[in-house]
Structures are given as C-alpha cells and as structure tokens.
Amino acid sequence: VELKLGEWGVDFAVWCSYKYLNSGAGGIGGAFVHEKHHKNMPHHLEGWWSNSQETRFEMRDKVDAAIGADSFRLCNPPPWLSALNLASLEIFQEAGMEAILAKQYLITGYLEYLLTTRLAKHVKVITPKDTAQRGCQLSLVFNCDLNDVHDRIQRNGVICDVRYPNAMRIAPAPLYNSYKDVRQFVDILQEALEFCTE
C-alpha cells in the first residue's frame, strides 16, 4: 500500500520493518509525526539520540529535541539492522514503487483468482475484494481444521502466518515472489485441503 501520511493528515503512525523491508524479527520500526505537531510534541521517553544532530555532541544537561519523529529516538540504531533496512530500501528505490504496486495488484489478483476458481469449496477469502482496501495479503478461512491444513503445507516447505481462531494469512511479496511461486503454493494448498477433507 502506498503511504501518503502527510497528505492524508495522519497525526502519528508507527510500523515494523520485519516483513516488507525484510529485516526479520526484531527489526527496527519506523515512526511518523505530522509536521503540525512538531512544535508541540507529546511527552515521551528521551535519550541521547533524541537530541538535534547539530547539538548532540555538546552533551547538554537538557535535551535539545530533534524535529518530528527523530525526537523519539533513544540511542544509536544497531548497525546490522540498519544495514538490512538500507539494502531493502535501495532495492525498493531501484525497482520503483509504481512497478512494485503494479505487480502487487497482479500477483495478489492471480492468487485470489486461483483460490476462488480452484478451491472455492474449501476456502473463503475474507480480505476485501476492493484492491484499494488491501495490500498483497489475503486472509483465508477453511472448511476444515486450520491446524491440519497448516501442518500439511509446512511438511511441503510452505510457512504461513496463522491467526486464531481460524485464519491463515498469505502474502505474495511482489519484489521476490513469482507467479510460479503462487501457482505452486495453490497446488500445495489444494493437496492439503483434499487430504484434510477426505
């Protein structure tokens, strides 16, 4: 989903980077503070890195707060985690957000098409059909036990995100998943569903 937080008038936002920036568990999060709040920031925990970059090394006894979300930083970020995000952002820059979004609509649409045409008697997609209301993730519910399906597809090398009581989240990432990957996943899921409903 393309974000335009400033244009939309969002006051505050936070996000993780583990999934779509590929940083993995424990990756650095992000924060946004709309510029209309920059002069009247809410009270929050402060650290050395909350200081303005220009005065950080003066070691003052009071924080000279950085502007915006930068004032929420506490300490220097772990270099390895920063490097992971930087590498991913460079790939996003090279690919271009328009191209990524275009593929996202197509590859997620392809997944939805295969699920609804091949597996409709076993699967219900509960994610909104309107592509403007979703990213590349589809949430699925099944006509059989979720754990049985999940165990079966894991034996075939597929790891999916389960949300109890009954949903599995599938997200073909447009940067690195192919249409062949999507078809293979649906083949594996079909076999699992047929096995679990016998």
Pinpoint the alpha helices (H) of 96-171.
97-118, 146-155
Helices (H) and strands (E) counted in the chain, each on its own, are 5, 6
Query: φ, ψ for residue 134 (rounded to 5)?
Result: -150, 165
Query: φ, ψ for residue 149 (rounded to 5)?
Result: -65, -45
Taking alpha carbons only, the member of 136, 139, 137, 138 closest to residue 104 is 136
Q: How far apart are CA 75 and CA 50, in angstroms?
A: 8
Task: Read off the pLDDT of residues 38-56 as tens digits, 9 standing for 90 and up.
Answer: 888 888 888 888 889 899 8
Please say whether the beta carbons of 77 and 28 come within 8 A: yes
* pLDDT given for residue 69 in this prediction: 87
Average pLDDT of the residues of the chain:
90
Where does the pLDDT of residue 112 fall: very low under 50, low under 70, confident under 90, or very high at 90 and above?
A: very high
Where does the pLDDT of residue 22 fall: very low under 50, low under 70, confident under 90, or very high at 90 and above?
A: confident
* pLDDT given for residue 51 in this prediction: 86
